[in-house]
Amino acid sequence: MPTAATNRPNAAQIEHWNGPAGDTWVRLQARLDAQLAALGRMGMDRAAIQAGENILDIGCGTGQTTLELAERAGSDGQVLGIDISAPMLALARQRGAEAGSQARFEEGDAQTRAFAPGSFDLVFSRFGIMFFADPVAAFGNLRSALRKKGRITFICWRQVSENPWVAIPMAAAFRHIPRPPAPEPGTPGEFAFADRERVHGILSGAGFTDIRIEPTDAKIGAANLEMAVDTTLNMGPVGAALRDPAMKDKRDDVAAAVRDAIAPYAGPDGVRMGAAVWIAEARNP
């Protein structure tokens, strides 16, 4: 008989991010933060955060964005980071305590969490909002947490084909190991918000207005070549495939192929490759 946990709307994602995916992110936190920090700051700059604002950070992970949001909001502001991953939140709380930050972190599912109505000026997310089983319901819930005329700003990936940082190493890896089946359109996951019209429809369906979804391109990376290869072998679809015991003997071949594929992008600042995102903004009417 299903348990209460398995009956939750996002049970599969909760299990995923409290398992190897969450543990791996914690282990690789420093290099992942370095890779994504510039994109998060683009979103924060667009959000035009004011001192004293109350901010909700969705999918806060290990806390980098929440801590920076708290710095921008200042001592009179309040920032709450929420995530479904207990291991990632444990590290976020540790980082917050070490930094003496006023930011708070709570474990919870933003799709169903009962937020105090009208309690936030801004909902923010850096790649934390693509994993909801029912995104319209989730964004409706987030809108209810915003004050009147409050705003939401988030960053999400565009198509895999527009993101060399993931497309190139994946193509190299999957010459040696089976490529997993493509997810059904709309399935929760890293690239679930790649379709601009779908994102617009979700925001509109959740009751947001003044919707703007703009493409932005950047170079991301910063890790040296061997660290970049190791990250590919441990994260995302490639990491998931290599966790299969049947693929154990393929790891060296995959590593060599990925290394050859991304070596041309290595430079004095590490491996830096193209990234393509949407920066989305909307308001609670």
pTM, two decimal places? 0.94
> Looking at the domain assignment, is residue 215 inside a domain?
yes
**pLDDT tens digit string along 222-248?**
889 999 999 999 998 899 899 999 998
Compute the Cα dihedral for 265, 41, 213, 184 and give only its sign: positive
Q: For residue 37, what is the domain's CATH number?
A: 3.40.50.150
- Cβ within 8 Å of residue 181, ≥6 positions away: none
149 by DSSP, 3-state: which?
strand
> Looking at the domain assignment, is residue 13 inside a domain?
yes
Please give the helix or strand (H or E) that residue 48 lies within, else none.
none
In the chain, count H helices and then E strands.
12, 8
Q: What pLDDT score does 182 carry? A: 83
Q: What pLDDT score does 2 carry? A: 35
> Looking at the domain assignment, is residue 81 inside a domain?
yes
Which pLDDT band, with edges at 50, 70 and 90, does 7 fall under? Answer: low
**pLDDT tens digit string along 115-124?**
999 999 999 9
Instruction: Name which of 63, 62, 69, 61 is nearest 43 in CA terms.
Output: 69
> Looking at the domain assignment, is residue 99 inside a domain?
yes
Which pLDDT band, with edges at 50, 70 and 90, does 39 fall under? Answer: very high
Q: What pLDDT score does 3 carry? A: 37
Query: What's the domain count of the chain?
Result: 1
Work out the number of other CB atoms within 10 angstroms of the CB of residue 65. Answer: 31
> Looking at the domain assignment, is residue 120 inside a domain?
yes
> Looking at the domain assignment, is residue 258 inside a domain?
no
* Structural domain span for residue 47: 4-161+181-219+275-283
**Lookup: tokens for 250:** 């393929």
> Looking at the domain assignment, is residue 264 inside a domain?
no
Q: Which residue has the tokens 């089983």?
A: 133
> Looking at the domain assignment, is residue 244 inside a domain?
no
By DSSP bridging, strand 146-157 and strand 270-283 are antiparallel
